[in-house]
Amino acid sequence: MTSNSTSVPVVSRRQSRTLDGFVADVCRPGSQGLRLPSLQPLTRLMVTTRNTTYHIVARGGTKVLVKGGRFFPQYTDARLAGSGHGGSLLKLDWIAIGLRMELWSDGRAIVTSPVRAIAVEPEPAAPVS
């Protein structure tokens, strides 16, 4: 998730709506993101989208606790389906810069605005006795 100074081919909005365009967009060199199941349980993320900052706690696999925005005013159990452009194509289990997260909670899908930044939050300090 470091900055990449190499030029990246631009995929037009129209092209990214096709399967080939979507694959080119999510697999392009320099694309930044993370696969949620690769994180240790209790890893804390701060994901900033165009409209909202989400605080996410990995619970193992694709299960998360998520807080942020009008749909998650407090930590809520959810499942990350993946990321995409807001349609039916998703890169499963993935949070990626430039794509929208699709989270499922209480039987409904919540699709965020495009992700702008992903940060791993430091672990809370242990209480001093």
Q: How confident is the model at residue 119 (pLDDT cuts 50, 70, 90)?
A: very high
Tokens describing residue 89: 């194509």
Output the average pLDDT for the chain. Answer: 81
The backbone region for 5, taken as left when phi is positive above 0, alpha when psi lies in -120 to 50, beta otherwise, is alpha
Q: How confident is the model at residue 71 (pLDDT cuts 50, 70, 90)?
A: very high
Between 22-26, 70-74, 97-101, 114-118, the lowest mean confidence (pLDDT) is in 22-26
Residue 28's pLDDT is what? Answer: 60
Residues facing 92 on adjacent strands = 82
Cα 57 from Cα 89, distance rounded (Å):
25
6-10, 15-19, 30-34, 112-116: range with highest mean pLDDT: 112-116
* Rg (the chain; Cα; Å): 15
CA nearest neighbour of 107 among 129, 73, 76? 76
Write the pLDDT tens digit of every residue in 83-110: 987 777 788 888 989 889 999 999 999 9
- Domain ranges (residues) in the chain: 35-120
